Amino acid sequence: MARYLDVHPVDPQPRLVAQTVDLLRKDAVIAYPTDSCYALGARMDNHEGADRIRRIRHLDDRHHFTLVCADFAQLGHLVVLDNNEFRAIKAATPGPYTFILPATPEVPRRLAHPKKRSVGVRITAHPVAQAILRELGEPLLSSTLLLPGSDWPLTEGWQIREELDHDLDAVVDAGDCGTEPTTVVDWTSGVPEVVRVGAGDPERFS
């Protein structure tokens, strides 16, 4: 049965943030809010967590996970950026964008694209996600909480708990945070290519 943590969406309670992080450090898989809908999350080195997320969403091994970072410094350890990419991405973060970039050696091979050695990264602006990431001190392995056969992500904590009570270790409920996923920008060719239009304005990368 999943723990249910009712967290204030703007001023998250430190006690509940600490409980969430303690669960993550014990290899939990959680549902948590971002600025572009709820996501499933686990620690980056939680091998079983990645497999559990794949099972929940019926994903195959080719699925691109996103590494959600607390800040730009953390993101910079995971991906290779030239000056143009640095400036453009820094100006758009935090925000509802995912950027696909060449991975550094700090990214485990199993989390990078098998041929391109690329990985998706983002910095969310949601206060609850930010508090969890700061307390955890490392990126979260994440995937949008979109269930098989559904057109839209789940938006209510009680609904997530009802649907996934036996698949998750915790549901961090911070109220409705929307249904639109991130805008995805692929930089692996050296120029930005918007491969999915979502909550972030795609015009700044067109």
pLDDT at residue 61 greater than cutoff 80: no
Q: Which residues of 127-149 are buried (b: 16+ CB within 10 A; e: fewer)?
A: bbbbbbbebbebbbbbbbbbeee
Cβ within 8 Å of residue 66, ≥6 positions away = 39, 98, 120, 121, 122, 141, 142, 143, 182
Q: What pLDDT shows up at residue 110?
A: 85
Q: Mapping DSSP to helix (H, G, I), strand (E, B) and coil, where does residue 66 land?
A: strand
**pLDDT average, residue stretch 80-89:** 93
Q: For the chain, which residues make up each domain, given as ranges?
A: 3-205
Residue 30 · residue 24 · CB < 8 Å: yes
Q: Are strands 66-69 and 170-173 parallel, antiparallel or unpaired?
A: unpaired
Q: What pLDDT shows up at residue 64?
A: 76
pLDDT in tens, 144-190: 998 988 888 888 899 999 999 999 999 999 999 888 899 999 999 99
Question: Tokens standing for 206?
Answer: 């067109």
Q: What pLDDT shows up at residue 163?
A: 94
Which CATH number among 3.10.450.50, 3.40.470.10, 2.60.40.2480, 3.90.870.10 corresponds to the domain 3-205? 3.90.870.10
Mean pLDDT of the chain: 93
Q: What DSSP character marks residue 169?
A: S
pLDDT at residue 194 greater than cutoff 80: yes
Pairwise CA distance, residues 79 & 178, whole Å: 28
Q: What DSSP character marks residue 70?
A: S
Q: What pLDDT shows up at residue 39?
A: 95
Task: Tell me the HSE value of 46 on the side-chain side, using a 13 A CA sphere.
Answer: 26
Weakest mean pLDDT among 19-28, 38-47, 97-106, 147-156:
147-156
Alpha helices in 40-108 (DSSP H): 47-57, 72-76, 83-92
Q: Are strands 140-144 and 37-43 parallel, antiparallel or unpaired?
A: antiparallel
**pLDDT average, residue stretch 98-106:** 95
Band (pLDDT 50/70/90 cuts) for residue 57 is very high
Q: Is 100 exposed, middle or buried (0-12, 13-18, 19+ CB in 10 A)?
A: buried
pTM comes to 0.94
Residue 94 · residue 35 · CB < 8 Å: yes
